Structure 1
């Protein structure tokens, strides 16, 4: 069967939306670092919708590690499909916003030259939490990170996200060009502010004058991004092939819901994403905190506890009545009271929408995928809520069970005694700690709590936190996830 390509685009069924602009006239105005499924199902869709009226904002997609996405999409001329379904309705479209695809390690110096092109005014990132070379508990740059050490000695061939950004900015400064805006689109607290601090800290390792120029001149708008985009499966490819009559090597399958809230702080020209549904605001922080704690916190909780219950997808986990009730109770009773005022925003309706989205049968979002990189995600998604509740003197039983679910997950085996494949930057350390102490809550919980890059120094010293976590972990180890969740739903606590 023929592939998606500019030459076969006319064969896409007429009912399916295709690019309504001349792709040969699209210039590269955005360089995106981290060309994964989420970017192609979210920011690239917003950008595609504005190119008919403003073709200056095409996207150069950069993979920082693997060539897989480039190898899949380059024969297709960068074209790919997006299918969005809630189980009842289905929307399909073809995205043409990518002007090129680059694999950074193949030509890092060439990537820096692309960043220094005058047409580039925005550099955006979706590199996941682990891609920022920072301590997720403190937000501080990890100067011992191997990529950071490499780039601090040779910025002409960067291999870190921060090195690529600073290398591009340094080259623009040397050429007398204005800086590009740096747009973080990952789930980090105050992601623009956090990325700014990391970029400046890294630049100070190289050149204090450069660091001061970046601090003074470069804008780092914060964002809140929201769309569930599972990893593509072979079944997705088969379904898209049947619908389009063409082969799409890497289609996107997602949900209809999409939200993008952006701090209007670019210091110059920017894409009119608000014309394609994004929302520009003065302060993103309240929206970001709501999403991190409600959606992402609930997602991680469903992933760990659902996996332990034998659920392969989030939809399967939500089909477990006790687990679904547990997550609803946690969002309503534990998380919502820690959120700031949102100016009339209906948080109850948002929670209800989340529950419906989690139940979406069309999304095969695997619990094992969401469970990846938990050491980087837990501080932002769950531990911040715990700290706020402890400061207010409020109980944390449900949140403690979420943390205990992560601990049980990283211990190495599931409830059937089968090994759990752990994907995490700290996997070796976490597995070694668990193996050293064995599956006994009184030893396992303190061992994992000793990882200060996750828990800091405050939580492991606070018995209001350690006792509920150890109690929850003990219940999970002794009685299993299902019985433990049923008890806490019934009693509101684990006694």
Structure 2
């Protein structure tokens, strides 16, 4: 009989399950976090749990927050188990479980007044975010904060009744400024290039719509450190709950399964102090850009590279994709020939070693990461993870045969069926628009590249457009498997000589 997780049952959990070595009642809040999901609980919560276990930083416990209706379900599950989570780390030869207790409360999602009250509390000195790449109100065409977005305009009109994360942050900062309370740090933990800068643009941009003086105060007083975060963490399903109950004897409504590897590189810029994170393995730096660019282009770009051919070939798990020689070969050739050459040097890091690490992590047979997860939200991920590498390759005079093939495979995926005819469930906010453009692109590839909010100027760069068109035709004619074979054999038709230029 499995033991249901709660504070009352911690001492009754089966042996071998690590649990907090600190008293929960000794913790006090210091961080409010928007976007309580699996990655946050596998990453930031785990680091803080380690810190608390070491007897340090007990005034930096986490309070969860959110704005989406769907987040209510997660809060209910966590509240029923006193905001404890079971974290299971797995790879081919290792599986361990621990209970983390760094989160001590969770504001009811969507309750603006309660959330703003928390944000105005002087005890909250960091506000952290994992709200996904699509949650920052970025105008894809310009890459800047979209101040004209209807949700932002509505918040600016009535900031005290905000419905967005950034509206609540601005309202909280307004309260602190009026009361003479030092501002909190706003710390993004999302996979966005320059995530600190992007977050500052959103907060200051919304603040400027409310009060230009407030926006100036934000720019002068609020810290927005950039960060690189990394840990492969799939979604929780009944599969994970059943494994936890069977292997460890614990019933947890929302456990987190992840790989053993984790990384957090963080700029040491904070408005009102920080926990001593360097004591538990966080790398504090002056400039996170080299690590961030390496990770976004090599790991996140690598995920995109394997995701779409695997989906078209009806492969379910990521490790199964890595067992397919065509996909693994595509990943390695693409990384070595087109991605690594446009990744600047990273301190104390060999890019070849980092690639080998990525391949081992993707091939982890225990993690249960799914191809569907990697495929989601492509309209936000392609412009961040694939197209910048392509642009830099062309500017350097190189080719983009492999990178354009990734985009072509994504286009084919967006039509909604795999090569076998299996239906692919939509998993992008722009799914219907993408499908229509992708279907048109079978006859006219430029129809997909014309999605300027995604491709920007790249859709009109002859070298990229020509390579994309040729590759998309190959994918339709040969299927994903055949196109990968042709690519690895060097038989994909080369770009026209006059197209191989970057303006």
Whether TM-score is above 0.5 comes out as: yes
Residue aligning to 1:193: 197
Separation in 1, partners of 2:100, 2:215:
37
1:103 CA displacement:
3.2
Deviations 1:109-139 (A, max 9, x none): 1100001111100000000011111124532
Residue aligning to 1:42: 43
How many residue pairs get matched?
A: 489
1:448 equivalent in alignment to 2:451? no
Residue aligning to 1:471: 470
Could you tell me whether the CA contact under 8 Å between 1:84 and 1:92 is conserved in 2?
yes
Choose 462-471 or 128-137, whichever is displaced more.
128-137
Partner secondary structure for residue 203 of structure 2: helix
Separation in 1, partners of 2:493, 2:363:
27
Q: Which runs of 4+ in 1 moved over 4 A?
A: none
Choose 365-374 or 131-140, whichever is displaced more.
131-140
Separation in 1, partners of 2:283, 2:425:
39
Correspondence for 1:321 among 308, 325, 341:
325
1:274 equivalent in alignment to 2:273? no
1:255 equivalent in alignment to 2:256? no
Correspondence for 2:61 among 58, 62, 65:
58
Partner secondary structure for residue 481 of structure 1: helix
Task: Indicate the RMSD between aligned Cα atoms, in angstroms.
Answer: 1.4
Q: Which runs of 5 or more structure 2 residues have no equivalent in the other structure? A: 495-503
Residue aligning to 1:242: 246
Could you tell me whether the CA contact under 8 Å between 2:330 and 2:488 is conserved in 1?
yes
**Taking structure 1 as reference, are residues 188 and 136 closer, same or farther at Cα in structure 2, changes over 3 Å only?**
farther
Residue aligning to 1:342: 346
1:86 equivalent in alignment to 2:104? no
Residue aligning to 1:69: 74
Partner secondary structure for residue 214 of structure 1: helix
Residue aligning to 1:95: 100
Partner secondary structure for residue 197 of structure 1: helix
Could you tell me whether the CA contact under 8 Å between 1:300 and 1:370 is conserved in 2?
yes
Correspondence for 2:401 among 397, 403, 414:
397
Residue aligning to 2:500: none
Deviations 1:426-483 (A, max 9, x none): 2232223345x2x62x41x212211211111x21221100010011111111110001
Deviations 1:350-380 (A, max 9, x none): 1001001100000111111111111111111
Separation in 1, partners of 2:349, 2:3:
47
Partner secondary structure for residue 156 of structure 1: helix
1:206 CA displacement:
1.0
Separation in 1, partners of 2:211, 2:171:
12
**Taking structure 1 as reference, are residues 492 and 165 closer, same or farther at Cα in structure 2, changes over 3 Å only?**
farther
Correspondence for 1:292 among 293, 296, 314:
296
Q: Which runs of 5 or more structure 1 residues have no equivalent in the other structure? A: none
Separation in 2, partners of 1:494, 1:268:
57
Residue aligning to 2:480: 481
Partner secondary structure for residue 250 of structure 2: coil
Separation in 2, partners of 1:7, 1:366:
34
Could you tell me whether the CA contact under 8 Å between 1:398 and 1:493 is conserved in 2?
no
1:13 CA displacement:
2.5
1:228 CA displacement:
0.1
Partner secondary structure for residue 265 of structure 2: strand
Separation in 1, partners of 2:310, 2:425:
15
Separation in 2, partners of 1:311, 1:79:
34
1:351 equivalent in alignment to 2:366? no
Partner secondary structure for residue 236 of structure 2: coil
Q: TM-score, normalised by structure 2?
A: 0.95
Partner secondary structure for residue 7 of structure 1: helix
Separation in 1, partners of 2:183, 2:487:
53
Could you tell me whether the CA contact under 8 Å between 2:33 and 2:62 is conserved in 1?
yes
Separation in 1, partners of 2:12, 2:493:
59
Partner secondary structure for residue 60 of structure 1: strand
Separation in 1, partners of 2:134, 2:341:
29
